[in-house]
Structure 1
Amino acid sequence: PPPPGAMAASPGALRRAGNEEFRRGQYGPAAALYTRALELLEAAGEAAAEERSVLLANRAACHLKDGACGLCVTDCSSALELVPFGIKPLLRRAAAYEALERYQLAYVDYKTALQVDCSIPAAHDGVNRMTKALLEKDGVNWRQKLPPIPTVPVSAQTRWSVPSAGAPGANAPPAAAQRAGPGENAAGGTEKAQTLKAEGNELVKKGNHKKAVEKYTESLKLNQECATYTNRALCYLTLKQYKEAVQDCTEALRLDPKNVKALYRRAQALKELKDYKSSIADIKSLLKTEPKNTAALRLLQELNRA
């Protein structure tokens, strides 16, 4: 039986006690305290919607830590019914869906969270992980199979939930809400860029380098990523467009100065352009990072004979 006086504890006191247990890694006892607080608030009904939502999101965090992903989803959904677009229940439900390999639902929650606050790294990372997972699972048309992504009303974009236990990242200051527009587009752009790059990679596998170049070019307009430059450089090498290959590798090296693929492919292009001195310099830089790189050592031998 509960200790005497415990039943009289206020929901706030129970929540604080739960937070304390959570911080100590006692997720079961924390969940039990949140449950008792919720039972006390049941009677209060609508008036306590905000407080109940926080308790449900906290209990969901306990479930997530204990690997009870189904229970985590249920609590987050209840929390979101009480207070729509709460950032913590959205992120926790996304994490639970991801663990359950329900990537489409996780994607929708991560995207919704970014509409609420575009400055959350966990949501950006989640969107990128789900994009990759769905590309692998459903192919380039993965978007067509997605459930609809809810539109977050502007009023919810400035809602800052009460800080609670086990927050995946503290709540950002309200200033972030004013930036919800551009940040969201940036995230959408990165993701479209990933899809275009993947389409380019598919075309390379099929040997269609010309078409692949078009996809990589579209991708680079949205997001300048090192790997997209080195991929396009490879296509240019195959198409014997050596000057363009050199330019792409140079761009890639601006983003990542020790990139092995960029150094190797630029050396290959420079060799074809008969600039042996610069080509040897690139191979020597590469070998500082990877002294046993056999392709590079072979190219260096050829260059020394040239």
Structure 2
Amino acid sequence: MAPKFPDSVEELRAAGNERFRNGQYAEGSALYGRALRVLQVQGSSNPEEESVLYSNCAACHLKDGNCRDCIKDCTSALALLPFSIKPLLRRASAYEALEKYPMAYVDYKTVLQIDDSVTSALEGINRMTRALMDSLGPEWRLKLPSIPLVPVSAQKRWNSLPSENHKEMAKSKSKETTTTKNRVPSAGDVERARVLKEEGNELVKKGNHKKAIEKYSESLLYSNLESATHSNRALCYLVLKQYKEAVKYCTEALKLDGKNVKAFYRRAQAHKALKDYKSSFADISNLLQIEPRNGPAQKLHSRK
């Protein structure tokens, strides 16, 4: 005997959530689709409920690797309820999986206009920037579709979704595991990056290096062409004794400005703390070629 499905939208949605939790994504999608049809037959105007159900269908398709139907359902969800975070994130993931990087970038960037602390969007922007640089070259920003301007009135909409531990919605600031080379930011991005860098500098003066790192991370998200921002972030990691991170961001700074003496000095200090004396010596030697009379560098050099 065929199983009897529940009749109400609420019951169908709950059953769909249960299937989703159990990894039965096709069944879950079918139940959400049935709930949508019930809504349509009832003729009730509930765009938020419909949007949630389309978004849930999209989640099932994404889990099953059906990216095209995921995009279709996310688009339907967003037509009903614009600027909803979860459909945007899911559509971005589907575009990314299909290597439609410009479209994925636009969706991730739209999410960050709504809530700039969504970790998966921050990480997605970093991945897409690298991919777009590789595929389209330094002028990649000029080849993007237009990014919608999210109105200030748009609020975060935490749609009810299939119960799952959605890391995509974690509310934490970006750890920004990578930095992209040669970004071509807009004038607005450059100004925002400058303001955030200055805020980070003020936090460093107050000794709040952890918060300063957050500000520098945000600054680099908008524009990563400023060598000093990488170098300042490295200083914070150096103070916090996170020496490998300090080396990493000094290296990024030097890729942008090969004569950044602060980056050479801080990397030399970090290398020394890691007992990599050869690299430390090389950095100090390079620094002294640029500034032969640099006192701190001379002192560190004499201790080798």
TM-score (norm 1): 0.66
- Whether the aligned pair in 2 keeps the contact of 1:190 and 1:223 (CA below 8 Å) is no
> What is the one-letter code of the residue matched to 2:264?
C
Unpaired stretches in structure 1, ≥5 consecutive residues = 174-181, 197-214, 283-306
Indicate yes or no: 2:227 matched with 1:216.
yes
Please identify, of 225-234 and 105-114, the stretch whose mean Cα deviation from structure 2 is larger: 225-234
Indicate yes or no: 2:154 matched with 1:156.
yes
Superposition deviation, residue 114 in structure 1: 0.9
Residue number among 136, 139, 147 corresponding to 1:138 in the alignment: 136
> What is the one-letter code of the residue matched to 2:91?
R
- Distance in 2, Cα, partners of 1:73 & 1:162: 19
Deviations 1:38-92 (A, max 9, x none): 1111124462211111111111011111110001000000000011111110000
Indicate yes or no: 2:220 matched with 1:190.
yes
- Distance in 1, Cα, partners of 2:42 & 2:133: 46
Deviations 1:1-54 (A, max 9, x none): 7434x2x52111111111111111111111111111111111244622111111
Indicate yes or no: 2:270 matched with 1:230.
no
Superposition deviation, residue 192 in structure 1: 4.5
- Distance in 1, Cα, partners of 2:140 & 2:255: 27
> What is the one-letter code of the residue matched to 1:216?
S
Superposition deviation, residue 146 in structure 1: 0.7
> What is the one-letter code of the residue matched to 1:193?
S
Please identify, of 77-86 and 25-34, the stretch whose mean Cα deviation from structure 2 is larger: 25-34
Counterpart position of 2:57: 59
- Whether the aligned pair in 1 keeps the contact of 2:250 and 2:263 (CA below 8 Å) is yes
Change (3 A) 1:270 1:82: closer
Deviations 1:206-245 (A, max 9, x none): xxxxxxxxx635x6499768545335557887xxx6xx54
> What is the one-letter code of the residue matched to 2:24?
Q
- Distance in 2, Cα, partners of 1:89 & 1:172: 15
Residue number among 28, 48, 51 corresponding to 1:50 in the alignment: 48
- Distance in 2, Cα, partners of 1:152 & 1:235: 32
- Distance in 1, Cα, partners of 2:111 & 2:132: 19
1:253-292 pair list within 5 angstroms:
258=274, 263=280, 265-269=282-286, 278-279=300-301
> What is the one-letter code of the residue matched to 2:285?
Q
Counterpart position of 1:125: 123
- Whether the aligned pair in 2 keeps the contact of 1:58 and 1:166 (CA below 8 Å) is no
Superposition deviation, residue 157 in structure 1: 2.7
Superposition deviation, residue 127 in structure 1: 0.7
Change (3 A) 1:75 1:236: closer
Unpaired stretches in structure 2, ≥5 consecutive residues = 172-191, 197-214, 235-245
- Distance in 2, Cα, partners of 1:104 & 1:156: 23
Counterpart position of 1:32: 30
1:1-40 pair list within 5 angstroms:
2-4=2-4, 6=5, 9-40=7-38
- Whether the aligned pair in 2 keeps the contact of 1:60 and 1:92 (CA below 8 Å) is yes
- Distance in 2, Cα, partners of 1:258 & 1:79: 51
1:56-95 pair list within 5 angstroms:
56-95=54-93
Change (3 A) 1:138 1:191: farther
- Distance in 1, Cα, partners of 2:287 & 2:141: 40
Deviations 1:154-213 (A, max 9, x none): 22234333344446347678xxxxxxxx89x7787424533x3xxxxxxxxxxxxxxxxx
Residue number among 166, 169, 188 corresponding to 1:168 in the alignment: 166
- Whether the aligned pair in 1 keeps the contact of 2:267 and 2:280 (CA below 8 Å) is no
Counterpart position of 1:251: 266
- Distance in 2, Cα, partners of 1:126 & 1:170: 10
> What is the one-letter code of the residue matched to 2:18?
E
Change (3 A) 1:91 1:222: farther
- Distance in 1, Cα, partners of 2:2 & 2:148: 43
- Distance in 2, Cα, partners of 1:132 & 1:259: 32
RMSD (Å) for aligned C-alpha atoms:
3.7
SS of the equivalent of 2:65 reads coil
SS of the equivalent of 1:53 reads helix
- Distance in 2, Cα, partners of 1:146 & 1:188: 22
Change (3 A) 1:35 1:144: same
TM-score (norm 2): 0.67
